[in-house]
Amino acid sequence: MGAKPGLHLGLMSGTSLDGVDAALVETDGERVARPGASLTLPYDAGLRTRLRALLDRADALARDDAELAEAERALTDRHAEAVAALLGEAGVAAGDVVALGFHGQTILHRPERRLTWQIGDAARLARAAGTPVVHDFRAADVAAGGQGAPFAPLWHAALAGALERPVAVLNLGGVGNVTWIGADGTVIACDTGPGNGPLDDWVAARAGVPFDDGGRITATGTVSVAVLARLMAHPFFAAPPPKSLDRLDFAAAIAGSELASLSIADGAATLAAFTAASVAAVRAHLPEAPRRWLVTGGGRHNPAIMTALGAALGVAVDPVEAVGWDGDAMEAQAFAYLAARSLRGLPLSLPTTTGVPRPMPGGRLAKPI
Ligand SMILES: Nc1ncnc2c1ncn2[C@@H]1O[C@H](COP(=O)(O)OP(=O)(O)O)[C@@H](O)[C@H]1O
Ligand SMILES: [Mg+2]
């Protein structure tokens, strides 16, 4: 049984800590999936630094930590600003939105301990926006033994309806994740390895910039084959899906490699090649090689990464814009779609996307008072 499609607003702030993406989707949480307006509000340097500090000590962070509470408030208020800005731009009244899908900021992801932690105050956001808020999307999956990630695959599959298959949708955020959609509609997903995270950290440490704009540093470097081989020896790549990653899962491997002895450009080129090689490695775990890779997320803005991917995969690699999607909005759209699914009690994840034992509904609802 279908439900009447309504407007849902998704909010995503990924592991890159670059800002909040907000997107409107008209959807019934099933077949109707019409993307609408979207925008990104960046985090200011102060909020980014505070979130990064929390992420770095998340393993030992107390739930009543004062800095946590303060960062959570600032983060929530930035999300409320994104909602107001998007509704203003789109000319939509808050009362016409069925619900917001509020992902929150992941500061810790340890599915093997049945733990995934997204910060953000849903009740505060619901009050500020005057709209019901669906949040805590990943908790039920992880509690049931799933990886709790990736969570965009059902949205990717909803969008991919008419495309030639098998097709792979590759999202390159702080970490990478892939959705494989087979000819019979089977959806298989997992994290692939690093996305932009290690490269962002590398250029931040060496050049004091948050990312390698336009891939300009990366493009002038030469890949260190020895360091790349060392990084690819990480056991994550040989393991079959389901599997997921924390933002900092490769930090120790990178620190233990000889990356630090490379120039900034050679290190950047090696990390871009690491991202591409880890995507290529996931093919061994898929039932059939994708005919085409559609790339979404910030990584598609880095031509050096796109070139490395083309070389590593040897088939068509295109930004999702090639099929009319918006790669800056897709993850936010996913959480609009998942909010609609949550309200209807539909599964948000599947055994083939997160390894959860059965199709798993999830999300919690906060109402504006
Ligand atoms: N113009 C650009 N040139 C190079 N890299 C870019 C550009 N724009 C975005 N990126 C990369 O994309 C990242 C943000 O990607 P995003 O998909 O928002 O990730 P997340 O979902 O983790 O927030 C940035 O940190 C940066 O590494
Ligand atoms: Mg982002």
Report whether residue 44 contacts ligand 1, using a CB cutoff of 6 Å: no
Look at residue 327 in the predicted model and tell me its pLDDT: 97
301 alpha carbon, closest ligand? 1
Which residue type is seen at 166?
A: P
Does residue 153 have a cis bond before it (omega within 30 degrees)?
no
For the chain, 369 residues long, the average pLDDT of each consecutive 10-residue run is: 86 94 97 94 96 93 94 98 98 98 96 96 98 98 97 96 94 96 96 96 96 97 98 97 90 94 98 98 97 97 97 96 97 98 98 98 96
Question: Residue 323, exposed/middle/buried by CB under 10 A (0-12, 13-18, 19+)?
Answer: middle
User: 120: how many CB neighbours lie within 10 A of its CB?
Assistant: 22
User: 153: how many CB neighbours lie within 10 A of its CB?
Assistant: 28
Look at residue 2 in the predicted model and tell me its pLDDT: 61
Distance between CA atoms of residues 155 and 335, nearest Å = 8
Report whether residue 27 contacts ligand 1, using a CB cutoff of 6 Å: no
Report whether residue 5 contacts ligand 1, using a CB cutoff of 6 Å: no
Distance between CA atoms of residues 138 and 117, nearest Å = 9
Distance between CA atoms of residues 320 and 314, nearest Å = 18
Is the pTM here over 0.85, yes or no? yes
> Which is the closest atom of ligand 1 to the Cα of 331?
21
Nearest CA to ligand 1 atom 18: 298
Distance between CA atoms of residues 176 and 275, nearest Å = 8
Report whether residue 102 contacts ligand 1, using a CB cutoff of 6 Å: no
Which residue type is seen at 46?
A: G
Report whether residue 275 contacts ligand 1, using a CB cutoff of 6 Å: no
Tokens of 337: 């779609």
Nearest to 14 by CA among 158, 187, 149, 124: 149
Report whether residue 18 contacts ligand 1, using a CB cutoff of 6 Å: yes
- SS3 sequence of the chain: CCCCCEEEEEEEECCCCCEEEEEEEEECCCCCEEEEEEEEEECCHHHHHHHHHHHHCHHHCCCCCHHHHHHHHHHHHHHHHHHHHHHHHHCCCHHHEEEEEEEEEEEEEEHHHCEEEEECCHHHHHHHHCCCEEECCCHHHHHCCCCCCCCCHHHHHHHHHHCCCCEEEEEECCEEEEEEECCCCCEEEEEEEECCHHHHHHHHHHHCCCCCHHHHHHHCCCCCHHHHHHHHCCHHHCCCCCCCCCCCCCHHHHHHCCHHHCCHHHHHHHHHHHHHHHHHHHHHHCCCCCCEEEEECHHHHCHHHHHHHHHHHCCEEEEHHHHCCCCCCHHHHHHHHHHHHHHCCCCCECHHHHCCCCCECCCEEECCC
Q: Which of 52, 301, 305, 330 has the most ligand 1 atoms within 8 A of CB, as the residue to mutate?
A: 301
Nearest CA to ligand 1 atom 14: 298
CB 24 within 8 A of CB 92: yes
> Which is the closest atom of ligand 1 to the Cα of 17?
23
Distance between CA atoms of residues 197 and 219, nearest Å = 17
CB 155 within 8 A of CB 120: no
Distance between CA atoms of residues 297 and 274, nearest Å = 17
Report whether residue 111 contacts ligand 1, using a CB cutoff of 6 Å: no
Burial 224-247 (b: 16+ CB within 10 A, else e): beebbebbbebebbeeebbbbbbb
Report whether residue 40 contacts ligand 1, using a CB cutoff of 6 Å: no
Q: How far, in Å, is the centroid of ligand 2 from the Cα of 292? A: 24
Neighbours of ion ligand 2 (CB under 5 A): 14, 16, 18
Domains defined for the chain, CATH in brackets: 6-145+361-366 (3.30.420.40), 153-323 (3.30.420.40)
Q: How far, in Å, is the centroid of ligand 1 from the Cα of 367? A: 32
